């Protein structure tokens, strides 16, 4: 009898999981491991979201940092050099050297490696940004091939299902249709207009002006004409 009850519970859970994933459009996928982000290279995939939880204590540590020390930096760097590049920059910001900072840098390094492998790039254009205004508030599709985003602090990136894309771009601040959003620490790779056969996913950064809130965001791209000079440790 107990086995039958457990079996029914398993079937019920499977049905719930199926319903959860069916909410997303066919060209939007989720994964539970970083290697799953490579699905963005599939022709019919426009967005991949890696659902994850950071190491214990890291989120709390980031939230407790003074806004005055949160970094706003950009480097064009090989993944194996991310740690060496970030450490002196975080020193300048005044972020304390401790185990949590090491975890943060390790996480960013892992994301840089993943993105470089997926895009076959020797270097990545990496931004670690403290945002406290309405930057990128407009609904848009990126003019890049691929873009990786994750939010460590504050409001997360919002996006719309393809069925509402034109409406969101047309109405902008007046858009009242359904909004999807990444969870804190989720890693997403969006396909942009630069990718072959891509439509792209309409998304934006939540407006922050006048709220007193801020975000800490990682954005990773391939090289572009806007990329800084390659980081050099010499």
List, for residues 113-134, the tens digit of each pLDDT value: 999 999 999 999 999 999 988 8
CB atoms within 10 A of CB 212: 8
Residue 36 and residue 29: Cα distance in Å, rounded? 9
Whole-number average pLDDT of the chain: 89
Over residues 188-197, the mean pLDDT reads 89
Residue 125 and residue 78: Cα distance in Å, rounded? 9
CATH fold group of domain 27-221 = Jelly Rolls (2.60.120)
Over residues 173-189, the mean pLDDT reads 95
pLDDT value, residue 207:
84
pLDDT value, residue 2:
40
Whether 16 has a pLDDT exceeding 60, the answer reads no
pLDDT value, residue 56:
87
């Amino acid at each position: 009898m107990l086995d039958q009850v457990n079996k029914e519970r398993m079937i019920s859970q499977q049905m719930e999981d199926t319903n959860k994933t069916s909410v997303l459009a066919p060209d939007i996928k989720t994964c539970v491991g970083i290697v799953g982000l490579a699905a963005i290279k599939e022709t019919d995939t426009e967005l991949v979201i890696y659902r994850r939880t950071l190491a214990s204590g890291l989120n709390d540590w980031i939230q407790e940092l003074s806004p005055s020390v949160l970094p706003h930096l950009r480097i064009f760097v090989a993944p194996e050099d991310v740690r060496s590049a970030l450490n002196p920059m975080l020193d300048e910001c005044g972020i304390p050297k401790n185990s949590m900072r090491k975890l943060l840098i390790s996480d960013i390094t892992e994301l840089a490696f993943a993105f470089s492998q997926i895009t076959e790039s020797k270097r990545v254009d990496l931004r670690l940004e403290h945002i406290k205004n309405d930057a990128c508030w407009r609904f848009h599709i990126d003019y890049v091939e691929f873009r990786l985003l994750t939010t460590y602090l504050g409001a997360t990136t919002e996006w719309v299902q393809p069925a509402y894309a034109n409406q969101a771009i047309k109405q902008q601040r007046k858009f009242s249709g359904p909004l999807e959003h990444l969870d804190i620490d989720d890693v997403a790779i969006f396909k942009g207009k630069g990718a072959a056969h891509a439509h792209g996913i309409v998304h934006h950064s939540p407006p922050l002006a006048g709220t007193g809130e801020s975000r800490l965001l990682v954005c990773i791209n391939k090289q572009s004409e806007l990329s800084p000079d390659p980081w050099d440790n010499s």
